[in-house]
C-alpha cells in the first residue's frame, strides 16, 4: 500500500544514511576492495546485454544496506505498479504515464483495457512502418513525382532529442540514400542554412510536436512552408505530400491543414521526453528501418521487464538511482557526468539532460509541500576520449564531487581492433585512475591525485538497436525511481512555462516597456541602438 504521508527524510533509512555520511567520512574505495574480496563480482550485474559495474563507488556495505532499505521504505514498488497499470500518476496533468506500453507485447498485459490500448498502439506503429517503408523504398513521391532523399524533422525537446540521438547512435544501420536533418532551434540560421542545401522536390518535412502548439516548431514549419512556395511555387504545402505530422493532437494538425492520412498520432499519456518510442520516432524508422526500430522497442521492453521483476538489490535502474541519491542527498554532489566512449553517442548527455532534469528538477512534493532536500542532479558530459582533453582535469584534481557514468560498447564493427582497444583502454584507465589516485612526488604537490572519485561502468556487448533501447529505458527507469523516492512528480514540466510566457510577453508589439525589470529594459535599449 502506498503511504500518503511519505517523505524520504522521515524514513529510518534516511536517518541512518545521514548518520553514516557523518561517521564514514574517510571511506576509501580502494580499501573497500581490500576488505571485500568479491566486491567487483558482488557489485556488478547483467540485464540482457548490458553489464553494470558499480563497485567503484564510495559505498560501504553498511551504506548499501541502508540505500536498499530506503528503496523498500519508499513508495517505489506501488508507484512502479501504478505506472505500468496506467494510473494517472502525473497528477498535475491528470495523466497516465505509459510510454512503456509502446514497447509492450500482448503477453505482458493483464487487463482487457491494456489489451485494447495495445491494439491501438500497434495500429499507430503500423502507420509508422508503412510510411517509413514507402519513404525508404522510394515509393513516397514529392509533388513533382520524385522519390524522397531528405527528411527534415522539425521539433524541439522530446520531439527532437530522442530521434536525433537514436539516428546518430544507430547510424551504423542507416540507409545511405536518405539524409535525416533535425531542426529544433528557432534560430533562423539553422533552418535557413539547412533548407538552402536541399532540393524541395525530394524533401519531406515531419512536423514533430506532441501538442502542435510549440512556438519554435510552428515558426520553423512556417519557414519550411515559405521555402516550398518560393522554390516550387507550392502554395499551402502543408496540405501536400511534403508534410507529415507526428503528434498527440491530431485536431491541431488537421486545423493546420495536414491531411488526415499524413497525421501519425500517438497518445496523450506519452510524455514528450519519453516519445521516441512512438510515431515521434518516424525519422528513426526511416533511417534504420522499421524492423530495427522494433528491435529498439524490444530492447526497451527487456529493460521494462527487468525493472518490474528483478529484486530491488539486483535491479539495474534501482541501483543506479540509489547511488545518485547517496551522492546528491548525503555527500553533497551537485552534478553527475555521463561519458560515453563512443562518438556516435555524443548526443546522449543532451538527451539525458532533458530526461533527468525536466523530470526531476522539482521542489514540490506530491502533496504540494515545498521540498527541503536535494532532488535532480545537474547532468552533463560529452564523449571520451575528447572529454579527457577538456574537463577531466577538474574530475581528477578539482574540488567537487562528480559521480560519473562511463558507457561503452565492448565490440564495435564500425571501428577496428586497434582503435577500439585504445578507446576502451582509455575509459578503463580513467575510471581506475580516478578511483586510485596517486601521491605527489616530493616537492611537487601539483602532481597529487586525491583519487577516491566514484564511477559506474556500463558496458553493452555492442551498440545494437536492441541494446540502445535497453540503455535508454534504463535511464528512464532510473529517473522514475529517484522521483518516487524523492516523492515528486517526474512527469510534468511546469518549470518551463514561466519563461515561455515571459518571452511571449516581450514579443508582444504592444509591449509596455515600463513594466519590464531594469536590466531587461537596459538590454532592449542597447539593442535598439545597434539595430
Active-site residues: which are they? 358, 389, 500
Q: Which span (16-24, 178-186, 206-214, 371-379) binds ligand F6P, by CB under 6 A?
A: 206-214
Nearest one of 227, 215, 152 to 187, comparing CA atoms? 215
Which alpha helices (DSSP H) does 112-263 contain, by range? 112-136, 161-169, 188-196, 215-232, 250-256
Whole-angstrom Cα distance, residue 313 to residue 523? Answer: 54
Q: Which is nearer to ligand F6P, 83 or 423 (CB)?
A: 83
Nearest alpha-carbon partner for 150 in 130, 179, 125, 177: 179
Of 48, 157, 281, 483, the one binding ligand F6P (CB under 6 A) is: 157
Can you read off the three cell numbers belonging to residue 231?
522554390
Q: What is the C-alpha separation between 310 and 390, in angstroms, rounded? A: 38
How far apart are the two ends of the chain, measured CA to CA in Å? 62
Measured from the CB of residue 89, what is the shortest distance to ligand F6P in angstroms? 17
Taking CB under 6 A as the binding criterion, the range among 14-22, 209-217, 284-292, 458-466 that sits at the site for ligand F6P is 209-217
The nearer residue to ligand F6P, 217 or 315, going by C-beta atoms, is 217
Residue 355: partners with Cβ closer than 8 Å, 6 or more residues away = 273, 274, 475, 476, 479
| Residue listed under C-alpha cell 515545498 | 370
Maximum C-alpha span of the chain? 76
| Interface segment toward ligand F6P; rule CB under 6 A; list 205-213, 261-269, 388-396, 453-461 | 205-213
The 10 Å Cβ neighbour count of residue 254 is: 15
CA–CA gap between residue 50 and residue 53 (Å, rounded): 10
* Least distance (Å) between residue 249 CB and ligand F6P: 8
Residue among 214, 350, 456, 490 that touches ligand F6P (CB under 6 A): 214
User: Binding ligand F6P by CB under 6 A: which of 273, 301, 344, 362?
Assistant: 273
DSSP 8-state assignment for residue 332: -
C-alpha 360, offset from chain centre: 12
**By the rule CB under 6 A, 211 interacts with ligand F6P:** yes
Stretch touching ligand F6P by CB under 6 A, among 203-211, 293-301, 444-452, 511-519: 203-211
From CA 211, how far away is CA 355, in angstroms rounded?
A: 18
Residue 272 touching ligand F6P (CB under 6 A): yes
Neighbours of 418 (CB within 10 A): 8
**Residues 477-496 within binding reach of ligand F6P (CB under 6 A):** 493, 496
Judged by CB under 6 A, the residue of 156, 276, 333, 472 near ligand F6P is: 156
Q: Please, which residue, 209 or 375, has the CB nearer to ligand F6P?
A: 209
Nearer CB in complex with ligand F6P: 273/301: 273
Distance (Å, whole) CA 471 – CA 407: 10
Q: Which is nearer to ligand F6P, 155 or 381 (CB)?
A: 155
User: Which residue, among 301, 332, 281, 314, has the nearest Cα to 64 in the 3D structure?
Assistant: 314
Q: How far is the CB of 494 from ligand F6P (least distance, A)?
A: 10
For residue 8, the tally of other CB atoms under 10 A from its CB is 21
Nearer Cβ to ligand F6P (103/210): 210
Q: How far is the CB of 133 from ligand F6P (least distance, A)?
A: 25
Q: Fill in the DSSP letter of residue 438.
A: B
* Least distance (Å) between residue 218 CB and ligand F6P: 9
27 lies in the site for ligand F6P, by CB under 6 A: no
Nearer to ligand F6P, 142 or 155 (CB): 155
CB of 155 to ligand F6P, least distance (A): 6
Question: Which residues, numbered 337-376, are part of the site for ligand F6P (CB under 6 A)?
Answer: 358
270 belongs to the binding site for ligand F6P (CB under 6 A) = no
Is residue 210 close enough to count as binding ligand F6P by CB under 6 A?
A: yes
Residue 408 interacts with ligand F6P (CB under 6 A)? Answer: no
Q: Which of these segments, 24-32, 129-137, 155-163, 402-410, binds ligand F6P (CB under 6 A)?
A: 155-163
Taking the complex as a whole, the smallest distance from the CB of residue 367 to ligand F6P amounts, in Å, to 24
Shortest distance in whole angstroms from residue 262 CB to ligand F6P: 17
Binding residues for ligand F6P, how many (CB under 6 A)? 15
Bond preceding residue 385 cis, omega within 30 of 0:
yes
Residue with cell 581490500: 34
Residue 263 or 459 having the CB closest to ligand F6P: 263
Binding part of the chain for ligand F6P, among 4-12, 172-180, 208-216, 237-245 by CB under 6 A, reads 208-216
Comparing CB distances to ligand F6P, the nearer of 496 and 511 is 496
CA distance 280 to 159: 6
Does position 209 interact with ligand F6P (CB under 6 A)? The reply is: yes
Helices vs strands, H then E, count in the chain: 20, 11
The answer to whether the beta carbons of residues 109 and 115 sit under 8 Å apart is yes
For residues 27 and 58, is the Cβ–Cβ distance under 8 A? Answer: yes
Among 159, 174, 375, 455, binds ligand F6P (CB under 6 A): 159
Centroid of chain to Cα 238: 30
- Residues forming contacts to ligand F6P in the complex (CB under 6 A) are 155-159, 209-211, 214, 217, 272-273, 358, 493, 496
Amino acid at each position: 500500500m502506498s503511504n500518503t504521508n511519505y517523505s524520504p527524510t522521515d524514513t529510518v533509512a534516511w536517518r541512518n544514511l545521514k548518520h553514516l555520511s557523518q561517521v564514514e567520512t574517510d571511506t576509501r574505495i580502494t580499501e573497500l576492495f581490500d576488505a571485500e574480496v568479491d566486491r567487483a563480482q558482488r557489485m556488478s550485474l547483467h540485464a540482457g546485454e548490458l553489464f553494470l559495474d558499480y563497485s567503484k563507488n564510495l559505498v560501504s556495505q553498511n551504506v548499501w544496506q541502508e540505500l536498499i532499505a530506503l528503496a523498500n521504505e519508499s513508495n517505489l514498488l506501488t508507484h512502479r505498479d501504478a505506472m505500468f497499470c496506467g494510473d494517472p500518476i502525473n497528477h498535475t496533468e491528470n495523466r497516465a504515464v505509459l510510454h512503456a506500453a509502446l514497447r509492450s507485447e500482448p503477453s505482458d498485459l493483464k487487463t482487457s483495457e491494456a489489451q485494447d490500448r495495445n491494439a491501438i498502439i500497434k495500429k499507430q506503429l503500423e502507420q509508422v512502418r508503412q510510411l517509413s517503408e514507402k519513404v525508404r523504398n522510394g515509393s513516397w513521391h514529392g509533388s513533382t513525382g520524385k522519390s524522397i532523399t531528405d527528411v527534415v524533422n522539425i521539433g524541439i525537446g522530446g520531439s527532437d532529442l530522442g530521434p536525433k540521438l537514436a539516428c546518430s547512435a544507430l547510424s551504423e544501420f542507416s540507409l545511405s540514400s536518405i539524409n535525416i536533418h533535425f531542426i529544433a532551434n528557432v534560430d533562423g540560421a539553422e533552418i535557413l542554412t539547412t533548407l538552402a542545401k536541399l532540393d524541395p522536390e525530394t524533401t519531406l518535412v515531419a512536423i514533430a510536436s506532441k501538442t502542435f502548439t510549440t512556438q519554435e516548431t510552428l515558426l520553423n514549419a512556417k519557414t519550411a512552408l515559405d521555402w516550398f512556395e518560393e522554390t516550387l511555387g507550392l502554395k499551402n504545402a502543408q496540405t501536400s505530400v511534403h508534410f507529415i505530422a507526428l503528434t498527440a493532437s491530431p485536431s491541431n494538425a488537421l486545423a493546420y491543414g495536414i491531411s488526415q492520412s499524413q497525421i501519425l498520432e500517438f497518445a496523450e499519456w506519452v510524455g514528450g521526453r519519453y516519445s521516441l518510442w512512438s510515431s515521434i520516432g518516424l525519422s528513426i524508422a526511416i533511417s534504420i528501418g522499421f524492423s530495427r526500430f522494433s528491435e529498439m522497442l524490444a530492447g526497451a521492453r527487456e529493460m521494462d521487464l527487468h525493472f518490474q521483476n528483478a529484486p530491488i538489490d539486483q535491479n539495474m535502474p534501482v541501483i543506479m538511482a540509489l547511488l545518485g541519491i547517496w551522492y546528491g542527498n548525503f555527500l553533497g554532489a551537485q552534478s553527475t557526468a555521463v561519458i560515453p566512449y563512443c562518438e556516435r553517442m555524443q548526443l546522449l548527455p543532451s538527451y539525458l539532460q532533458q530526461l533527468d532534469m525536466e523530470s526531476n528538477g522539482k521542489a514540490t512534493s506530491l502533496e504540494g509541500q515545498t521540498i527541503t532536500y536535494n532532488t535532480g542532479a545537474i547532468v552533463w558530459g560529452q564523449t571520451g576520449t575528447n572529454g579527457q582533453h577538456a574537463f577531466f582535469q577538474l574530475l581528477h584534481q578539482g574540488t567537487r564531487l562528480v559521480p560519473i557514468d562511463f558507457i561503452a560498447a565492448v565490440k564495435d564493427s564500425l571501428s577496428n581492433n586497434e582503435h577500439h582497444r585504445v578507446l576502451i583502454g582509455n575509459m578503463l584507465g580513467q575510471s581506475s585512475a580516478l578511483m586510485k589516485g596517486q601521491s605527489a612526488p616530493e616537492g611537487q604537490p601539483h602532481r597529487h591525485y586525491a583519487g577516491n572519485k566514484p564511477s559506474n561502468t556500463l558496458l553493452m556487448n555492442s551498440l545494437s538497436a536492441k541494446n540502445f533501447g535497453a540503455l535508454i529505458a534504463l535511464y528512464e527507469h532510473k529517473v522514475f525511481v529517484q522521483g518516487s523516492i524523492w516523492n515528486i512528480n517526474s512527469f510534468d514540466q511546469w518549470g518551463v512555462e514561466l519563461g515561455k510566457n515571459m518571452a511571449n510577453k516581450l514579443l508582444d508589439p504592444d509591449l509596455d516597456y515600463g513594466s519590464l525589470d531594469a536590466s531587461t529594459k537596459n538590454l532592449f535599449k542597447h539593442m535598439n541602438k545597434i539595430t
